[in-house]
Structure 1
Amino acid sequence: LDPHEQTKINQNFNAVVLPCGHSFCSPCITEALGSQQQCPLCRSAVAAGEAKCLPANLILKSLVEKAQREDVGRGCYSAAGMCPEHEEKFKLFCLTDLQLACIICRDGEKHEGHRFKPIKEAAQSLRTDLEMFLQSVAEDINVMEQLAKAQQENLRVTGERSKQLMVQIGQNGKMIFCYIRKNNAC
């Protein structure tokens, strides 16, 4: 599609909801229901009367509008492994910017003087780094769990010792009280 047609489609997007809960753009589902009176996804029947007055899916419509405002469409190229700027396949990973790049990006001013690796090498290197990081985190978690257990044991021992001291203080207090009473009796 040329940019003018794409803009018309984007501006006229009108999502509707079928009785089964699936959402489609209005022109597409109108065309689909013209040939068969069922949801294209789940095959639930859609009565002819229902097909003429489908409710709008305002949530989906607002999401599409938001995506259009944020120009998320350019991200589709990234998801497909394509550079949105040059419409070339990503083949490199910029080690300086930590982002995918095509051959044209590499040679452009934006990445001048940057270091690159082929995507597969960079992915393996990053995967190895991630695995090492996760191993380090797992070890740190293990150490923290051990410290927490040791701390809980220390609290338990301190609590028991505190109870013993309270009992001993109580007994010593009784002995002192008896001693004082005994000496006062004289």
Structure 2
Amino acid sequence: MHSDIPEAFQKELTCLVCLNYLLDPVTTGCGHSFCRSCLCLFWEQAEDPASCPVCRQRSEQTNLKTNFLLKNLVSIARKANLGQFLNSEEHRCGTHKETKKIFCEAHKSLLCLVCSQSQEHRAHRHRSTEEAAEEYWEKLANQMRSLWEKIQEIERNLKKDGRGTDPWMFYVYRYGDMIRKTYQMVTPFLQEEENYYLGSIIKESQKICKQIRKRQEEMSGKKTDLKVIYKELMKMSYKPDVELLQELGDKLKWSESAQLHMPQPLLPELRARPITGLMDWLNRFRVNIAFNNEVSSQHFRLFDDVRSLKYEHDSLCVSLDGRTSRYFAAWGSRGFTSGKQYWEVDVDGSWDWAVGVCKDSWTRKNDGILKESNRDSFLLVCVKEDHHYRLWTTTPTTPLYIEKPLGRVGVFLDFDSGSMSFVDVAKRSLLWRYEDGLFTSPVRPFICTGHT
């Protein structure tokens, strides 16, 4: 940094980590400023929570915005330095002794006005050197931000499956146990069909396990590749303007090409299989449910809670979908305290939906449905996450790895054993079965649907 700009002023525009001019400057709560890339890398490598690299004060906000005042001041200082560099005697055009104020995009070279009009260069695209340099610094900052976001996206996706295939296999074996109990309840004499059903689930799950491991390897490899590129771009941020103009183009192409094909996390899902005699058996307990106490709202906390749910021990994160829906919720006109009941609910065409039962206490207080201490609702919940649907259950909140039903969902309540099952009516298959001993107090049917 050599120019007529006072050294003290230039110091204020210097990153306290890399000691170069601030690139895409951000300012922490304590008032210290850094290059966005320097601060991101520092926070990623630090063992402690996000804190200032200088004073170590904890940062309450990690998604910092660009400090445009500093950015503009850095731009002024860069232009002054570049102007001084170009006007120096040793960097003038050797042939015409004029200042090289023209940048040739084709040859990535600095030219004086006379050279730019020569036969060699006249057909090329020319710009002022200062203008080109500022645009290249902006391109570099934008590319680094884009690249970092992709790296963090891969990191989040890897954390979703942080324990590899363990959560998937745990679900498969648990689902197999539900199938076994359902067969014993509905068709106890079809042992051969039951064994075939369970065997096919195991084979399918093992195939998916291999796919999960392969996808994780792909994402880890891509993350490593992107980090290599990111560090190369950081090196470019230390270059003087002229070298940046000459070398950045190839680095940007490298980075953009690497971001074209991003591996996505595999969302494992079991295919629903019919259970012989299931619907005939369930219809023996069919009841007509009249829903009342309707509630209509633009916001229903249940679905936002599911979409933003985080299991810290599983490192599971679900992104919010920004779409606005209108929700309709209703409770059954009567509750149940004994016996077996089966009813069906049409959820076809719903954006989000939830069906099941809840305790009377929750009908008066629609709050805290997903709190760990809450035991007032027993629901099958479907939410749209990004471009796919995901099923969950409440009490406890559990993600289900099975395809979303279309049309009608059946609810079978066995109050005597304290259990409840959800079925895909169209495919005559089991979606989920709550364990025995679940209910000890009266419950009533519940439904909520959302439409955009």
TM-score band by shorter chain is: 0.3 to 0.5
- Between structures 1 and 2, the one with greater helix share: 1
| More contact order relative to length (CA 8 Å, sep ≥ 6) | 2
Larger radius of gyration: 1
TM-score of the aligned structures, taking structure 2 as reference length = 0.18
Name the TM-score, length of structure 1 as normaliser.
0.39
